Amino acid sequence: MSALQSLTSRGDYTLVICEKPDAARRVAEALEERPEHYKIGYSEVFLVERGEKRYVICSSLGHLYTVADLVKRRSIYPAYDVEWVPISQAEKSARIAERIRVISELAKKANFFINSCDFDVEGETIGYNILRYACGGKETVALRAKFSTLTAEELRDAIAKAKPGLGGNLAEAGRTRHIVDFMYGINLSRALVESIVSATGGYRTMSIGRVQGPTLSYVVEREITIRNFVPLPYWSADAIIQKDGRRLTANYEKEKILQLKLAQKVIDDCTGKDGTVKEVKKSVFREPPPTPFNLGDLQREAYRCIGLTPSQTLYMAERLYLDALISYPRTSSQKLPPSINYKKILTGLTAMTGFRDHAFLLLSGKLVPHEGPKDDPAHPAIYPTGEIPKRSLQPKEFKLYALIVRRFFAVFAEDAIRERVAAIIDIAGHIFKVNGRTTLRAGWLAYYADFISHQDKPIPDFVEGEKVKVLRVKLYDKFEQPPPRFNQSSLLAKMEEDSIGTKATRAEIIHTLYSRGYLAEASMSATSIGFSVVETMQAHSPAILSIDMTREIETSLERIEAGGIDGEQVVERVMDELGKSLYSMKRAEAEIGKRLNSAVRSVVAEENTLGTCPVCKEGNLIIIRSRASGKRFVGCTNYAKGCRASAPLPQRGIIRPLRKACKTCGWPTISARFSRFPMTFCINVQCPTKGKKWVRNG
C-alpha cells in the first residue's frame, strides 16, 4: 500500500491546507510534537491524532493556479477570455501537477477542510483556488484559521477556533486583482512585442502593466527633471570663532546668498573684526519613539540601515516568519494590540544575550506602545515573537531580525528629551549662528542606538554681550542641486504615498522593472528602453501611465474586500478602458515598433559591453554568443586587428556589467544572478582572486 493510500484509507479526517511546506510542518508540530510524516513524491504530508480529532496537514507551494487566456496565439490581442488553470498546465511543472494530484486525493476522503494559508489577499486566493479546483468545490464549506505568527501556541489556538465565513471578500478581491493584472500585462506586453515584430521582424521580450507603467513614469519624469535642471550659482559664508580654547563654526544666517557682490560684502565687512554674542536661545524638545513596523516602513528602514533592497527585505522577513521568529510581515498596520502579549514576548527575548538587558529594563515598567495611524484588519504590525532561533541566521538575516527586535523595544520606551542651543553672534552687523544639541534623556534612543545616528553636539556656554574672537570668515561658491534620483526605498515610498500597488507587490514591481532592463544602477536611472516605453505610452496610450486610473482600480479592489461591489463590475470596467488603449496602440503599431527597436538595440549594445580591453587598450570587451555552440563568452572588438583577449562566462544566469575594473588585475568585473542574490567577480581566469570565494551581494 502506498503512503497516499495508507493516509486516505483511514478516512474521517480534517484536511488542513497550508501555504508553504514550512508552515505545514509548523502546524503539524504545534498540534503534536512528533506528527506522523509521509513523503509522497515531492509533497510532505503530516497526520496528527489530537483527542478525538484526526488532522491531515498538507501544503501548497504558493500559487498552484494561475490566470491564463483561452487565445493561445501570442500575437493576438486584446485577449479578454481568461480562466483559472493549474500552473503546471501553463508552465509544464511536474512538481506542481503532482502536488495538485496529492491534495485532490486527500480531499476525496476528508470530512472537513481548514484553509490555513496566510491570512491576506494572496493567501486567501491560494487557499480558495485549492479548495475550489483541487478539492472539488469545498471553498464555501471550509473553515478558516486566522493567525499572525507561526508559534505553536497561536497555531493551536487558530486551528481550534477555525470558523466559516472569514476571508470570503479577500478571495474575490485577490482573484479579481489577478484577472485585472493579467489582462493588463498580457495585452500590453503583446502590443509592445508585436509592434517590434511588425516593424523589424525581430523579437524582444517587453512588458508593461497596470502598476509598472506609473512606477516607471516616476523614474523617467524625475530623470527628465534632472537632465533639464539648470544649476544656478549661490554663495554661503561661515566664520571660525574661538571660545574657551575651542574652534567652532558659526554659519551665516542666510543659507543662500544669491548675489556675489552681497556675499563679498559680508566677507569684506567681517574680516578682521571680532564678534559679540547678541542672544543665546535654548529650547528643550521631545522626540517620541518611532511607530511599529509595517512592511513598507521595514523595507525603507532596512534599505537605510542594512542596504537591503525591498525585495530582499521581504524575502528575508518571510523566512524569519516561517521560522516563527517574527509575525506576518505583509501588513499595513502600525499598531500592536495587547492581545499579542507584550510581557511574554519580552520575557522570551531575555534569553538572548544581545537583547537581555533592554528586555529586562522594559519589563520593569509600564508597557504602552507608541502606535502609528495605519491599521490592517488582517494583521498587527510586525513584531518579534520572543522565540529563540533554532538555526544559525545569516549575517544580514540577523541584522534584519535585530532591527525588528530593536524597533519593538523602542516603541515601548520613553520619549527622548533633547536640548537645542543657538548662540547668535553679531560680526560687523552681520548675524552668524553657532548651533548645539545635547541629549538630556536618551529614552528610546538607547534601545535603537544601533540603527540611528543621533550625535550630540555640545557647545560652550555663551553669555549675552560677551566678545568672541573671529579667526577667519570664508566664502563658498556653490550651485543649486537637482532633485535626487529615486532609489529602491524612496520609489517604494512614492508608490505607497500614491496608493499604487500593494504592500505585497510593490517590491516585485520594482524588481521587474530592473529585470526588463527599464532601470539601471542603484540610484535609479531609466535606460533608453525605459524612456522609450514611457514616451510611447504617453504618445499613444497615456491612460496606461495614469496614476489616477491605477489608484481608482486599487480603490475598487479595496471595495471588493469590504463587500461593497463584486469583481465582475471591476473587470468589465477594466476591459472597457483597456480596449481604448489597445486600439490606439494597434493603429500606431509600426511607429511604436521602430521607436522601441531603436531603444532596444542601444541598450543591448550597452548591456553587452563590459569595459575597455586590458590587453590591447583600444578595443572593448563584449559578450559574444557562438553561432556554432550557442555558448556565450567574452571577446575583444579588436579581434580582427589581432587582439585575442577572451574570457569564459557562466552559461546560465543574468549577466550585468559593473563598469568597474578589478582592483587586482584591471579586467572588468560582472554581476551574475543565478538566484535571488547576485554574485560579483572578475572575468579574468588568471586573476589572483580566482582562488577566493565569489562575493555574494545579500
β-partners of residue 430 are 427
β-partners of residue 251 are 238, 433
User: Is position 65 annotated as part of the catalytic site?
Assistant: no
Q: Which parts of 189-244 are beta strand (E)? A: 233-243
Phi/psi at 403 (5° precision)? -60, -45
Sign of CA dihedral 158, 163, 169, 174: positive
How far lies 274's CA from each of 174, 179, 249, 432, in Å? 71, 74, 14, 12
Q: Which three cell numbers stand for residue 442?
A: 536618551
How far is residue 300's CA from residue 293's CA, in Å, rounded to a whole number?
A: 10
How far is residue 244's CA from residue 516's CA, in Å, rounded to a whole number?
A: 61
How far is residue 401's CA from residue 397's CA, in Å, rounded to a whole number?
A: 6
Half-sphere exposure of 131 (CA within 13 A, CB side): 27
Give the strand pairing for 36-40 and 43-50: antiparallel
Do 537 and 210 contact (CB within 8 A), yes or no? no
| Catalytic residue (one of 128, 328, 342, 518) | 328
β-partners of residue 277 are 425
Do 43 and 83 contact (CB within 8 A), yes or no? no
How far is residue 426's CA from residue 449's CA, in Å, rounded to a whole number?
A: 37
The vertex-692 CA angle with 689 and 698, nearest 5°, equals: 105
H or E element in which residue 680 lies:
strand 678-682
Please tell me what DSSP assigns to residue 130: I
Amino acid at the residue 153: E
CB environment 506-541: b (16+ within 10 A), e (fewer): bbebbbbbbebbbbbeeebbbbbbbbbbbebbeebb
Please tell me what DSSP assigns to residue 692: S
Residue 372's Cβ-count burial label (10 Å; 0-12, 13-18, 19+) is: middle
Phi/psi at 84 (5° precision)? -85, 130
Q: Which parts of 135-210 are beta strand (E)? A: 143-144
As annotated, the active-site residues are 328
